[in-house]
Structure 1
């Protein structure tokens, strides 16, 4: 059955229709929650909370064909709220930690070098070294074979080494 019809049924109180809608979105929402929250337990909790919020506010959805976009927006808002509440380290602080505590000015070169990487290489390197995802997890998230992800990481690191130079021990210097 199409999304529009399921949303209309769910708005009328059909819990089975709402369940079908959530089942169709579950995998995508879970992957997004993992990307934002970087923790499986937090991602599962996010899915539960988003399901509850969507169920309670389904009547506010004006255009049924945008259910998927609407539910993703609820998830993103929830994730941002969680990240603020927990005062997680910012992207900048995480990069500083990874780079061995370099000063801010030194990190500008790293940010610029990361931006120069091809999109797939940058994404794979960031997920692996910034967010500590395993290669298997990255492959699942990006929907590519593990070998492809390994290649992207290898080529991305080589490009960073070339761009930044390498210091003994694997810590990059500007």
Structure 2
């Protein structure tokens, strides 16, 4: 039964895709919740899976593994969401804000950092570069970029807290 449903889904039958997603809804939701630890995000991940399944299910080569494919895509969505959340937390920690006065204050605080740390902040948060790209540009290992960013962000938090007092 599921094999035939999977074959129809892969062939482009949208109703079959919806039926497959409905059959595996509980497993998919529990998987998303296990990764994201949040009901809202888990529901959002399953919604994104529905969209991607409608767009990409034709790429599945073996109908037998349709459930595995759905879970794999969902896990990738969850990992992407976690990366975005982590980046959002970093942006909050750095407190890059839109109001003029606060932006100027933040620019002054960043300017008080050593040049190398300033450059890391600008590349990562203003140019939106990935750690691997920064590593290539600076010709240093990616792990070094991560540790230097971590150190720089800790220093920035301390400076921001001093400024607020």
TM superposition score normalised by structure 1 = 0.48
State the alpha-carbon separation in 2 of the partners of residues 24 and 32 from structure 1.
Answer: 14
Q: Could you tell me which residue of structure 2 aligns to residue 105 of structure 1?
A: none
Distance 1:12 1:33 in 2: 26
Deviations 1:60-84 (A, max 9, x none): 0000010000000001111111111
Question: For residues 55 and 30 of structure 1, what CA distance do their matches in structure 2 show?
Answer: 18
Structure 2 counterpart SS, 1:19: helix
Identify the residue that residue 84 of structure 2 maps to in structure 1: 85
TM-fit CA distance, 1:8:
1.5
How much does 1:16 deviate? Answer: 1.7
5+ residue gaps, structure 1? 90-174
Q: CA RMSD in A?
A: 1.5
1:99-149: CA deviation from partner (whole Å, max 9, x where unpaired)? xxxxxxxxxxxxxxxxxxxxxxxxxxxxxxxxxxxxxxxxxxxxxxxxxxx
1:6 Cα deviation from its structure 2 partner? 0.6
Larger radius of gyration: 2
Matches within 5 A, 1:10-89: 10-87=9-86
Give, in whole Å, the separation in 2 of the partners of 1:12 and 1:61: 10
8 A contact 2:28–2:71 mirrored in 1: yes
1:13-34 per-residue CA deviation (whole Å, 9 max, x = no partner) reads 3222111101111100101111
Q: Give the CA deviation at 1:11.
A: 2.7
Counterpart CA distance in 1 for 2:22 and 2:41 is 19
Number of aligned positions between the proteins: 88
Higher helix share: 2
Mean CA deviation greater in 8-17 or 28-37? 8-17
Superposition deviation, residue 55 in structure 1: 1.3
1:1-174 equivalences in 2 (<5 Å): 2-87=1-86
How far apart, in 2, do the equivalents of 1:6 and 1:43 lie?
Answer: 25
